[in-house]
Amino acid sequence: MTTGSNGRRPAGSATHAIHAGNPAGRPGQPVVGPVVRSSTFFWAGPDDGIDLMYSRYGNNPNQLSVAARIAALEGTESALALASGMAAIATTLLAATRMGDHIVASRQLYGPTRQLVSQELARRGVDCTLVDPCDAEVWGAAVTPRTRVVLIELPTNPTLRVFEIAPAREAARSVGALLAADMTFASPINLRAAEHGVDVVIHSATKYLGGHSDLIAGAVAADRETIARITKTMKLYGGSIDPGTAWLLERGIRTLPLRMERHNRTALHLARWFAGVEGVREVIHPGLPGHPDHELATRLLDGYGGMVSIVLEGGGPAADRFCRALRLAVPAPSLGGVETLVSQPRHTSHAELKREEREAIGIPDGFVRISVGLEDPEDLRADFGAAIRAATGSPEKVAARL
Ligand SMILES: Cc1ncc(COP(=O)(O)O)c(C=O)c1O
């Protein structure tokens, strides 16, 4: 474990992000390690006494180094980097279940995760019960002796709901199931889920961990035994991270705490501003006092996050016009990058759902998800103001607020 300057106190997140997993320095050694591109390693047999053989196995030096950094940030014994966020989720679920098992999952999940648990795993004989994560009573009622995993996502995508972890945790414990949490939106800077009893912390590292929209990766953080099980499954299904991507992810992580501080600040600033803009019917951000989970978010999180969702007057057509009118923010279906990214869940993550199903989980047409980047807030305000004017046709009132 990385320690603080007195050598005893565990280091803080900013220090972990920069130093965790680094080898002890020797004169002449590079401060930044190289990318070890070799797919295979000299290995004549078990008597060589070394595990490092082949980069799909997940213990190439770059894979190990980035995993150590993620474990330090999450405060877990171990971690594993994988080829994508979906590889992290799927490999975890495949490792934990077999035919006849059951999963209880939040109804508010990233679209493909929801498809994975409710359709894909069902094809393999693992059935799933979806529940409303904001109703504390449902978890205990949904688990059965066959339940192997309880799966949550926090804050939820794209509705930014924040809920108590304890009911899901207690339900999982009561039947010996794992509690897994996709913490992509929070990042380990805003919440370290293992501190709240989450057994497997999952990330799409494509997002905040990488932070620059230039890689696809995933991560799981858990105790050693659980990571060993997931690694074994990863070797079979082949979702290991490429060493070059692991290196790039590690570089991104070095600035994660700094970036999150700025994402948190600018998103809150913009959320407050959007709340006064004509043409915006609703603003969703846990930092706003009107958000249904504001108090809990204030208690639970170290930052409200970099995501803001808005619902525009004029529904889907207005949201389409808005996205086309943007000149600075980038209409693209991802989040967590240095650049502000804008998307409509009805076209992207939740395209598989019918309109009524989307509305039932709080995503009406006109819903726009904004991943607030690191640009100057006043430039973002000007861009969003002009795009809202173009989209909702209320020029005077919007212009007056710019
Ligand atoms: C919350 C969440 N989890 C998982 C994923 C999947 O990650 P990846 O695209 O890295 O596979 C995404 C992608 O948008 C996401 O938003």
From 69, 101, 107, 110, active-site residue = 110
Q: Residue 119 CB: number of other CB atoms within 10 A?
A: 11
- Cβ neighbors of 295 (< 8 A, separation 6 or more) are none
pLDDT tens-digit profile of 279-325? 999 999 999 999 999 999 999 999 999 999 999 999 999 999 999 99
What pLDDT is attached to residue 401?
A: 43
What pLDDT is attached to residue 1?
A: 56
Query: How far does residue 86's CA lie from ligand 1's centre (Å)?
Result: 6
Q: Whose CA is nearest to atom 6 of ligand 1?
A: 85
Separation between Cα atoms, residue 153 and residue 353, nearest integer Å: 18
Q: Which amino acid is at 332?
A: A
What pLDDT is attached to residue 232?
A: 98
**Residue 237 falls within a domain, yes or no?**
yes
| Same domain membership, residue 76 and residue 20 | yes
What pLDDT is attached to residue 160?
A: 97
| Same domain membership, residue 183 and residue 48 | yes
**Domain span holding position 141:** 13-254
| Same domain membership, residue 289 and residue 248 | no
**Residue 146 falls within a domain, yes or no?**
yes
Residue 304 is a catalytic residue: no
Separation between Cα atoms, residue 25 and residue 99, nearest integer Å: 48
**Residue 396 falls within a domain, yes or no?**
yes
DSSP one-letter code for 343: E
What pLDDT is attached to residue 249?
A: 98
Considering its fold, how many domains does the chain have in total?
Answer: 2
**Residue 158 falls within a domain, yes or no?**
yes
- Cβ neighbors of 217 (< 8 A, separation 6 or more) are 81, 82, 83, 84, 85, 204, 205, 206, 209, 210, 241, 245, 246, 249
pLDDT tens-digit profile of 170-188? 999 999 999 999 999 999 9
| Same domain membership, residue 187 and residue 284 | no
Most ligand 1 atoms within 8 A of CB, residue of 117, 182, 184, 369 to mutate: 184
pLDDT tens-digit profile of 15-64? 999 999 888 889 999 999 999 999 999 999 999 999 999 999 999 999 99
Q: What is the model's pTM?
A: 0.94
Q: Is the CB of 371 under 6 A from ligand 1?
A: no
What pLDDT is attached to residue 398?
A: 44
The ranges of the chain with pLDDT < 50 are 398, 401-402
Separation between Cα atoms, residue 79 and residue 70, nearest integer Å: 6
Q: Is the CB of 215 under 6 A from ligand 1?
A: no
Q: Is the CB of 110 under 6 A from ligand 1?
A: yes
**Residue 6 falls within a domain, yes or no?**
no
- Residue among 298, 280, 262, 275 nearest 371 (CA): 262
| Same domain membership, residue 235 and residue 274 | no
What pLDDT is attached to residue 165?
A: 98
| Same domain membership, residue 285 and residue 230 | no
What pLDDT is attached to residue 5?
A: 58
Query: How far does residue 217's CA lie from ligand 1's centre (Å)?
Result: 9
What pLDDT is attached to residue 402?
A: 45
* Residue after which a domain boundary falls, among 254, 280, 312: 254
- Residue among 93, 162, 172, 113 nearest 139 (CA): 172
**Residue 350 falls within a domain, yes or no?**
yes
